[in-house]
Amino acid sequence: MDTQTSASLKLTRRLRRLRASPAMRALVRETRLAPDMLMLPLFICEGEGVRREVPSMPGVFNLSVDEAVREVEAAQAEGVRSVLLFGLPDEKDDVGSSAYDPEGPVQSAVRALKREAPGVLVATDVCLCEYTDHGHCGIVIDGEIANDATVGQLVRAALSHAAAGADIVAPSDMMDGRVGAIRQALDERGFEQTAIMAYSAKYCSAFYGPFRDAAHSAPRFGDRRTHQMDPANGREALREVEQDIAEGADIVMVKPALPYLDVLARVKDRFGYPTAAYQVSGEYAMLKAAARNGWIDEPRAMLETLTGIRRAGADIIITYYAREAARALS
Ligand code: PBG
């Protein structure tokens, strides 16, 4: 290298100037994370005093209602202000009727949380896969998931969550027309303040594997390709989001997060709606596994993925890392 030539470079812009010190980098930082944009998913089971770790998701537990209350109080103390509840009922049948049992784990947890931790926003996942004995997201007729019959069941589940006091219901089933049906039913029964966070662009992803371990919701036969989206499609995601907004969604979602950051950015740019991204179980499990092997620096990798999701356009990040990230950010 001819140092003489390098030293005489006449550069009008030196982009490295703004990276020279921690304070300079902080001054020009474009993307920030805060604990109150993180939503913590929780798996609620029956019983009391239950805190059972999910093998493929270190740090994530099946919690009975009393333990969930303790978990949420701890999360709140760390700055997390919203949770997303999934139910693990003991009873399952072929139409998922335990999804709208007023005494079910989700409904009971909503009531307990609204009583014990009223400052925390409670969202509930609305789907049938945790409640059907076959593990499908809907009613199966002749081997097919029957769209309109399933929507009727989802409406009943959403109403039971709203009646228990949920702030947000979050349909994750990907049936057509469910957002509009839920909105109408909520309004007719005086729940016009209950918000809908629609899993609008939910892809048929391999990254849900550990969740199905946690929620005991793997389909017994077949897969979810006839309702969840094809990972190859981006424009179709915009149509899904457009439709959910037209039907009354307050918040739209892209899921998973990291493999779909392009979709997230397009959704945010096009609609400018409050947009959530779900860093799903497999994304979390990959980081945990690599960290346990000493292959990555976990705190840095965690914050880098969350920052990337935020930079792409997420207003809300649903992540199993919510508590760890909140602690790292404080
Ligand atoms: C359906 C639902 C799933 C997830 C959230 N809601 C599972 C599925 O579609 O199979 C996945 C979340 C994750 O992987 O973390 N109730």
Question: Measuring CA to CA, which residue among 5, 14, 69, 23 is closest to residue 42?
Answer: 69
Residues of the chain with pLDDT under 70: 1-7
- What pLDDT, on the 0 to 100 scale, is given for residue 17? 96
Q: Is the CB of 127 under 6 A from ligand 1?
A: yes
Q: Is the CB of 172 under 6 A from ligand 1?
A: yes
pTM of the model: 0.96
- Buried b / exposed e over 28-67, threshold 16 CB at 10 Å, is eeeeebebebbbbbbbbbbeeebeeebebbeebbbbbbbb
- What pLDDT, on the 0 to 100 scale, is given for residue 214? 86
- What pLDDT, on the 0 to 100 scale, is given for residue 1? 53
Cβ-proximal residues to 26 (8 Å cutoff; 6+ apart), any chain: none
- What pLDDT, on the 0 to 100 scale, is given for residue 4? 56
Q: Which of 10, 114, 255, 268 is catalytic?
A: 255
Out of 40, 54, 127, 173, give the residue to mutate to test ligand 1, the one with the largest number of ligand atoms within 8 Å of its CB.
Answer: 127
Question: Is 202 noted as a catalytic residue in this protein?
Answer: yes
Q: Which of 92, 114, 202, 288 is catalytic?
A: 202
pLDDT digits (tens, 9 = 90+) for 139-191: 999 999 999 999 999 999 999 999 999 999 999 999 999 999 999 999 999 99
Q: Is the CB of 318 under 6 A from ligand 1?
A: no
Alpha-carbon distance of 149 to 257, in angstroms, equals: 30
Q: Across the chain, what does the average pLDDT equal?
A: 96
Asked if omega into 256 is within 30° of 0 (cis), the reply is yes
Ligand 1 mean position to 211 CA, how many Å? 6
- What pLDDT, on the 0 to 100 scale, is given for residue 2? 55
> What CATH number is given for 31-329 in this structure?
3.20.20.70
Cβ-proximal residues to 5 (8 Å cutoff; 6+ apart), any chain: none
Out of 83, 205, 211, give the residue to mutate to test ligand 1, the one with the largest number of ligand atoms within 8 Å of its CB.
Answer: 211
Q: How far is the CA of 101 from the CAs of 57, 138, 157, 163, 170, in angstroms?
A: 28, 16, 8, 11, 17
